Chains A and B, each alone.
Chain A
Amino acid sequence: MADLSHYAFVAALIALVGALALALVSAIDLRGLRSLSFAGGPTTTAAIPGDSRETAGRYATILVANAVVFLTASLALRAVESGHGPFSNMYEFSLAFSWGALVIYLYFEYRYRLRTLAIFVLPVALALLGYATTVPDEIQPLVPALQNDLLLTVHVLVAVIAYGAFTVAFAAGVLYLFQRNNSVRWLPRNTVLDEIGYKAVVFGFPMLALVLILGAIWAEIAWGSYWTWDPKETAALFTWLIYGGYLHARVMRGWKGDRSALFLIAGFAATLFTYFGNIFFGGLHSYA
Chain B
Amino acid sequence: MTTFSHRSVPTMTAARSVRPRDVASPVWHALASLRLALTLIAALAALVFVGTLLDQAPPSVVSDSKAYGQWLDDASGKYGDWTGTFDRLQLFNVFHSFYFRALLALLATSIVVCTMNRWRGIWATVFHTRVRATETFLTHARYNVRMDAAMPATEAAERLRKSLTRAHYRVTSEGPSDSVALFADRNRLSRFGTFFTHLSLVLILVGAMVGGIWGFEDPRFTVAEGSTRDLGLGTTLAVRLDEFADDYQADGSPRDYRGEVTLLEHGQPMKSGVIRVNSPMRYKGVAFHLSFFGQAAVMKVQDSSGREIFNGGVPLALQTRDGQRPVGSFDLPEQGLSVYVVGPRADESDGPIRAGEIRMELYRDSVRVARPVNLSQGMPMAIEGLTFTFEQESRFAGLKVVKDPGMNVIWAACAFMVAGLVMLFYLPRRRLWALCTQRPDGTSEVLVGMPAQRDFSLAGEFDRLQTRLAGALDAEPAHYESDGDLHG
Enumerate chain A interface residues (CB-CB to B < 8 A): 111-114, 140-141, 143-145, 147-148, 182, 188-189, 191-192, 194-196, 199, 202-203, 205-206, 209-210, 213, 216-217, 220-227, 229, 231, 234-235, 237-238, 241-242, 244-245, 248-249, 252-253, 273, 277, 281
Question: Which residues does chain A contribute within 8 Å of B34, judged by CB atoms?
Answer: 248, 252-253
In the bound complex, do residue A245 and residue B41 qualify as a contact, i.e. CB atoms below 8 Å apart?
yes
Known A203-B425, A220-B407; judge A213-B418 contact (CB<8 A): yes
Roughly how many angstroms separate A46 CA and B277 CA in the complex, as a whole number?
66
Roughly how many angstroms separate A122 CA and B56 CA in the complex, as a whole number?
37
Roughly how many angstroms separate A182 CA and B410 CA in the complex, as a whole number?
47
Enumerate chain B interface residues (CB-CB to A < 8 A): 34, 37-38, 41-42, 44-45, 48-49, 51-53, 56, 95, 208, 217, 219, 249, 253-257, 276-280, 287, 289, 291, 400-402, 404, 407, 410-411, 414, 417-418, 421-422, 425-426, 454-457, 460, 486-488
For A148, give the chain B residue with the smallest CB separation.
B278
Nearest-CB distance from A276 to chain B (Å)?
A: 12
Nearest-CB distance from B92 to chain A (Å)?
A: 12
In the bound complex, do residue B488 and residue A231 qualify as a contact, i.e. CB atoms below 8 Å apart?
no
In the bound complex, do residue B407 and residue A226 qualify as a contact, i.e. CB atoms below 8 Å apart?
yes
Question: Which residues does chain A contribute within 8 Å of B249, judged by CB atoms?
Answer: 141
Question: Which residues does chain A contribute within 8 Å of B400, judged by CB atoms?
Answer: 223-225
Question: Which residues does chain B contribute within 8 Å of A253, judged by CB atoms?
Answer: 34, 38
For B410, give the chain A residue with the smallest CB separation.
A226
Partner among B38, B217, B277, B422 whose Cβ is within 8 Å of the Cβ of A249: B38
Roughly how many angstroms separate A135 CA and B45 CA in the complex, as a whole number?
31
For B256, give the chain A residue with the smallest CB separation.
A144
Known A229-B56, A234-B51; judge A144-B254 contact (CB<8 A): yes
In the bound complex, do residue A277 and residue B457 qualify as a contact, i.e. CB atoms below 8 Å apart?
no
Roughly how many angstroms separate A194 CA and B56 CA in the complex, as a whole number?
38
Question: Would you list the 5 A-B pairs with minimal beta carbon distance, nearest first?
Answer: A189-B488, A224-B289, A206-B421, A224-B400, A144-B277
Roughly how many angstroms separate A23 CA and B315 CA in the complex, as a whole number?
63
Roughly how many angstroms separate A284 CA and B53 CA in the complex, as a whole number?
15
27 contacts between A and B (CB under 8 A): A144-B254, A182-B488, A188-B487, A189-B486, A191-B454, A195-B454, A205-B425, A206-B418, A206-B425, A206-B426, A209-B417, A213-B417, A216-B414, A222-B278, A222-B289, A223-B400, A224-B219, A229-B56, A234-B48, A234-B51, A238-B45, A238-B49, A241-B41, A241-B48, A244-B41, A245-B45, A253-B34
In the bound complex, do residue A112 and residue B486 qualify as a contact, i.e. CB atoms below 8 Å apart?
yes
For A229, give the chain B residue with the smallest CB separation.
B95
Known A206-B422, A245-B45; judge A223-B289 contact (CB<8 A): yes
Question: Which residues does chain B contribute within 8 Å of A147, judged by CB atoms?
Answer: 256, 276-278
Question: Which residues does chain A contribute within 8 Å of B44, judged by CB atoms?
Answer: 241
Roughly how many angstroms separate A112 CA and B411 CA in the complex, as a whole number?
37
* Residue of B49, B52, B217, B457 most packed against chain A (CB within 10 A): B52
Partner among A182, A195, A209, A245 whose Cβ is within 8 Å of the Cβ of B421: A209
Roughly how many angstroms separate A109 CA and B359 CA in the complex, as a whole number?
70
For B39, give the chain A residue with the smallest CB separation.
A245
Roughly how many angstroms separate A209 CA and B417 CA in the complex, as a whole number?
8
13 new A-B contacts, CB < 8 A, other than A111-B457, A202-B425, A216-B414, are: A141-B249, A217-B411, A221-B279, A222-B289, A224-B280, A224-B287, A225-B217, A225-B402, A227-B208, A229-B95, A242-B45, A248-B41, A252-B34
Question: Which residues does chain A contribute within 8 Å of B52, judged by CB atoms?
Answer: 231, 234-235, 238, 273, 277, 281
Known A202-B425, A231-B52; judge A216-B410 contact (CB<8 A): yes
Roughly how many angstroms separate A229 CA and B94 CA in the complex, as a whole number?
10
Question: Which residues does chain B contribute within 8 Å of A199, judged by CB atoms?
Answer: 456-457
Roughly how many angstroms separate A29 CA and B95 CA in the complex, as a whole number?
51
Roughly how many angstroms separate A235 CA and B217 CA in the complex, as a whole number?
25
In the bound complex, do residue A224 and residue B402 qualify as a contact, i.e. CB atoms below 8 Å apart?
yes
Partner among A203, A213, A244, A281 whose Cβ is within 8 Å of the Cβ of B53: A281
In the bound complex, do residue A205 and residue B421 qualify as a contact, i.e. CB atoms below 8 Å apart?
yes
Nearest-CB distance from B349 to chain A (Å)?
A: 28
In the bound complex, do residue A143 and residue B417 qualify as a contact, i.e. CB atoms below 8 Å apart?
no
Nearest-CB distance from B37 to chain A (Å)?
A: 6
* Residue of B280, B456, B457 most packed against chain A (CB within 10 A): B456
Roughly how many angstroms separate A188 CA and B422 CA in the complex, as a whole number?
29
Nearest-CB distance from A194 to chain B (Å)?
A: 8
Roughly how many angstroms separate A245 CA and B277 CA in the complex, as a whole number?
36
* Residue of A143, A216, A234 most packed against chain B (CB within 10 A): A234
Nearest-CB distance from A152 to chain B (Å)?
A: 10
Question: Which residues does chain B contribute within 8 Å of A112, judged by CB atoms?
Answer: 456-457, 486
Roughly how many angstroms separate A209 CA and B416 CA in the complex, as a whole number?
12
For B43, give the chain A residue with the smallest CB separation.
A241
For A231, give the chain B residue with the smallest CB separation.
B52
* Residue of A199, A241, A242 most packed against chain B (CB within 10 A): A241
Roughly how many angstroms separate A13 CA and B291 CA in the complex, as a whole number?
41
For B290, give the chain A residue with the smallest CB separation.
A144
In the bound complex, do residue B37 and residue A224 qualify as a contact, i.e. CB atoms below 8 Å apart?
no
Question: Which residues does chain B contribute within 8 Å of A191, judged by CB atoms?
Answer: 454
Question: Which residues does chain A contribute within 8 Å of B56, judged by CB atoms?
Answer: 229
In the bound complex, do residue A189 and residue B487 qualify as a contact, i.e. CB atoms below 8 Å apart?
yes
In the bound complex, do residue B425 and residue A141 qualify as a contact, i.e. CB atoms below 8 Å apart?
no
In the bound complex, do residue A145 and residue B426 qualify as a contact, i.e. CB atoms below 8 Å apart?
no
In the bound complex, do residue A192 and residue B277 qualify as a contact, i.e. CB atoms below 8 Å apart?
no
In the bound complex, do residue B276 and residue A144 qualify as a contact, i.e. CB atoms below 8 Å apart?
yes
Question: Which residues does chain A contribute within 8 Å of B256, judged by CB atoms?
Answer: 144, 147
Partner among A114, A143, A277 whose Cβ is within 8 Å of the Cβ of B254: A143
For A210, give the chain B residue with the smallest CB separation.
B418
Roughly how many angstroms separate A227 CA and B253 CA in the complex, as a whole number?
26
For A185, give the chain B residue with the smallest CB separation.
B488
Question: Which residues does chain B contribute within 8 Å of A216, judged by CB atoms?
Answer: 410, 414
Roughly how many angstroms separate A105 CA and B486 CA in the complex, as a whole number?
16
Roughly how many angstroms separate A210 CA and B421 CA in the complex, as a whole number?
10
Partner among B278, B402, B460 whose Cβ is within 8 Å of the Cβ of A145: B278
